[in-house]
Amino acid sequence: MEALKNKVNELLESGGIAGFLGLRNFGSEPFPFLFTRDTAAEVEKITTGAVRYPLSKILIRIAAVYPDAIFGIMCRACDERAIIELFKNTKLRSDKVITIGISCTDDLVQACKCENPQPSNLVSGEAGKKEFDRSDVQKIASMTLEQRFDFWTEQLGKCIKCYGCRNICPVCFCDVCTLEDQPLVKRGEIPPELPSFHLTRAYHMAGRCVDCGLCEEACPVDIPLRTLYRRVRESVKELLDYLPGEERDKVPPIQVLGDGLFEIRD
C-alpha cells in the first residue's frame, strides 16, 4: 500500500498526471475517488480493497469532461484488459492514461476464477497465479440441448431487468443501447423476453468481453452471466482468433460482429 501511495503522490507532485482514479476508504469502506493535487491529503486513505468497482468505465466519464488531462488509474488485471479494449475503441486515449497495476489477493483471484490476474506495471503486491478454469462452460456444454435450454430458461427467467450487467460492464460503451431498442427487445415486463434479451446482450459481448465478471457480481438474481459470455469469448477466439483485452496490437473484430454501425432502426 505504501508503494502505491508513494507512486500516486510522486505522479501528482511531478505533474505527470492530473488525477489518479482509485479507491478511497470512506469511513470503513472503499469507494472510487479521484485523487488530485487539491485532494492530496486524501491519498492517506487510499486502499486497494477487496472489492471491485468499474474504474475504467468511470474514467471514460471523467476523461470526456477533461479530454486533455492525463490520468492515472488503479488497475487490476481485469481493469487493464478493459482499458486495452477502450483504447482500441477510442473511448480512452492511450497517451492520456497511465495504468498503475495492483495485484489481487489470492482469495479474490479464486473468487473471480481469474484466468490472468497479472497486470503490467505492477506497483503494489505480487502477481497472482494464472489459473485457467473453464469447468463452468464445459459443464453446460456437456448437457443435452434440452437440458441446456431448460437450464438457461430457469436461470434467465429470474431476470428482473435491472440492466445492472450492462450498467456495470466496462466495455458496454455504446451511445445507444440495443437492449433499449423497442422493436427488437420488448420493454416493460419481467422477465424480459426469453431468451432474446440475454441473447442480444451476449451477442454484443462478442469481441468485447474481457471476462472481468463484474456483470455476474452485479446480478441481483445470480444468473451465471459470466459463463454465458465466456462461451462467446471462446467462440470469438476460435472463429476470429481474437481474445479481447489480451492482444494489444490486433484490430478488434467488433465491426464485423456488428455494433451500431450496421443497424438501421425505424
Partner 1 sequence: MCSARVSPHFIIRAFQEGADGVLVAGCHIGDCHYLKGNYIAIKRVAILRDLIDFLGISKERLLLEWIAGSEGDKYARVADEFTEKVRSLGPSPIKRIPFREKAVAMVR
Partner 2 sequence: MFGSGAMTNSIAELEDSKCIFIIGSNTSEAHPLIANRILRAKAKGAKIIVADPRKIHIAFYADIHVRQNLGTDVALLNGIMNIIISKGWQAREYIEARTENYAVLQESVANYPPEKVSEITGVSVQDLNAIAEAYAKAPSASIVYAMGITQHTTGVDNVKSLANLAMLCGRVGAESCGVNPLRGQNNGQGACDMGALPNVYSGYQRVDDEEVGKKFDAAWGAQLSRKPGLTLMDMMHAIEEGQVRALYIMGENPVVSDPNRAHVESVLKKVEFLVVQDIFMTETAQYAQVILPGVSFAEKDGTFTNTERRVQRVRKAIEPVGNARPDWQIICSLSDMIGYPMNYNEAGEIQDEIKSVTPSYGGITYARLDGDGLQWPCPTSEHPGTKFLHKERFTRGRGLFSAIAFKPPAEASDNEFPLMLTTGRNFVHYHTGTLTRQSRSLDDEQKEGYAEINPLDAHKYGISKRDRIKVVSRRGAIEIKPEITGRVPEGILFIPFHFAEAAANALTIDALDPVAKIPEYKVCAVRIEKVA
Partner 3 sequence: MYYECIPTTCTYCGCGCSVVLQVLDGHLVGVLPGKTNPVNEGSLCIKGWTSHEFVYREKRLKNPLVKKDGVFFETGWEEALDTVAGKLKKIKEESGADSIAALASAKCTNEENYLMQKLMRAAIGTNNIDHCARL
Query: What is the x/- site pattern for partner 2, positions 180-199, by CB under 8 A?
Result: x------xxxxx--------
Q: How far is the CB of 28 from partner 2 (least distance, A)?
A: 5
Strands (E), the chain: 19-26, 29-36, 46-47, 71-75, 97-102, 122-124
Tell me the closest approach of the beta carbon of residue 62 to partner 2, in angstroms.
Answer: 16
Q: Site mask, partner 1, residues 169-208, x = CB under 8 A?
A: ---------x--x--x----x-x-xxxx--xx-xx--x--
Report the DSSP beta bridge partners of residue 155.
none
Closest separation between CB of residue 221 and partner 2, Å?
A: 5
Q: Which residue has the cell 468497482?
A: 53
| Residue 32 vs residues 24, 26, 122, 188, 260: alpha-carbon distances, Å | 6, 9, 20, 32, 30
CA distances from 234 to 34, 120, 146, 205, 240 (A): 35, 23, 22, 11, 10
Among 10, 143, 220, 260, indicate the residue that binds partner 2 (CB under 8 A). Answer: 220
Task: Break the chain down into helix, strand, coil percent, rounded to 5.
Answer: 45, 10, 45
Q: Looking at beta carbons only, is 69 or 239 nearer to partner 1?
A: 239
Spatial distance between the Cα atoms of 76 and 172, rounded to a whole number of angstroms: 18
Residues that bind partner 1 (CB under 8 A): 140-141, 143, 145-153, 157, 178, 181, 184, 189, 191, 193-196, 199-200, 202-203, 206, 228, 231-232, 235-236, 239-240, 253, 256-258, 262-264
Residues that bind partner 3 (CB under 8 A): 18-19, 21, 24, 26, 29-34, 36, 38-39, 51-54, 58, 61-62, 65-66, 69, 160-164, 167-168, 217-220
